[in-house]
Structures are given as C-alpha cells and as structure tokens.
Structure 1
Amino acid sequence: MFCSRWGWHAFPSTHVALPPISGQYKDLPPSMATRSLYMADLAELCALDEKMLMGEIGRPAQSEPKIQVALIPDVKTMKWHHAREEFAAKEMLARVPDIKGVYTKTDAGDQVWCIWTCTFSSNEAGNILHILRFVIESERLARSS
C-alpha cells in the first residue's frame, strides 16, 4: 500500500486478532493441566526467559551475519506493564486483575507459559488482551544450543 498524499509505504503488520470464545477447556488431559500466573510467579519465569533469550542471540549465526535486536523480558518490564494495567483497571473498573498469565508443562516436562496484560476501554468491545510473552521452553532451548 502506498499513500501518495504523504509519500510513504505502509509497513506490513504481523498483528493477529482472535475473536473470544466462550466456555472452558474441560477435556484437556491431566498432563496439560494449567495454572494461573500471579505477580509472585513472574520473577523466576522472566529470569529463565532472559537466560534462554541471551543464549539465542549470543550464539554465532549459522548463515550470513544478521543484526539481532531483543527487548529483554525481565521482571521489571513485566511489572511496569502490569502496574499500568492495574492502575487503569482500578480507575475504570474499580477492581484490579491479579492473574498475569497461564503456565503448564508438556508431556516431555518442558515449561510453557504466557504472560499478558489488558487494556481497558469505556466499552467492553474496546477491552484488549495483549500477549507480552509466549514461551515454549523446549523450542527456545533447541534454538539456543
């Protein structure tokens, strides 16, 4: 797409929007049991995520050299996002969400987690869940070795 009025090309987006579904996943096998993540859970997972990320970007490129940029998924950054979420929720909804993500383990014992934050709007249709990190431990470890 080219906007002739200002002379710029639109940058392709990788944004994905999924419509919400109702109900719960009650038929998951016991090995896929999940648990909610709370603020107290994030420090350990962020430290592991940061360690795996440093392993990935710290190894030499197998093909031609490429510039690599990463935003460090440290707990300080996650707390900033959640403080913003909590302030907005308290002001707009008069309550604060305490669940910050979800955690499970694969059949092979690898950890999988998703950390999110929400943006709240004056109407329900404007409420948005933003995924901050989605990590599958075995895939990250495979890429960093």
Structure 2
Amino acid sequence: MEELRKILASGPSFVGLYLLLMVPTYILPYLGSNSLVANATLAAADAASSDVSGLNLLLFVHLACLGGLVLLAWLRGSLVAKTWIVALPIIAAVFDIVPGLSMIPLVPTALHITAIVVGVSGTPIAKSDL
C-alpha cells in the first residue's frame, strides 16, 4: 500500500491510474454489465439450475473498477488533505449501477472529472504532517 501511495503522490500518475480504471466503466455497460434485465435473467438461470454458469462476470469487473476508483480517490485525498473527495467516485458509482439513476446522463462523468481536478489541484503533504 505504501508503494501505491508513493505513486499517487505524483499528479500525472493519479490521473493516469484514475483514467485507466474509469474508461472500462463506460465500455462495460454496452456489454451488459449494469443491465437489470441481463442480471435478473442470469440470476434466474442460476436459481433454476445447479450450475453456477449464469454469473455476470462483467458486473463484477465493473464493480472492481468502481472500487478501484474509490480506493484511488481515498488514497489521493489522504495525500492532499482532502479526504472528502472519496465521496465523488462513491456517488458516481451509485449513479452508474443503480437502475433508474444509471439512465441520467453525464452525472458520473461530472463527478469523476471533479475528483480528478480536486485530486490533482491538491499538493501532497509531507508524511510527517499526516
């Protein structure tokens, strides 16, 4: 974890890692990762059979990317003394996954851009100040 904190102390590294995890959250929904119908169908298929082949793996990849964004924002926020920025990817994840809210365009994008801007605009504090 300490190595990741050192990497995130650099603004461009934070932006690169954040974008690396953010881009799949825009591609995966086109493949059905947050589709209520697809997930309900696969859950019904799981319930009807003894096989566990109906799990929607794309949903778990999507959730892992969103969790990674939350982790990055939390670590960068603690480095720049703006721990509240972790709320931005959390709210973006809610708008990305919850049925109905996921139909509202550009809210996750605005929240992610805000998290990047706030994270980069802060100056990393010295470890002795933590």
With normalisation by structure 2, the TM-score equals: 0.30
| Pair member with larger Rg | 1
With normalisation by structure 1, the TM-score equals: 0.28
Structure with higher helix content: 2
Structure with higher strand content: 1
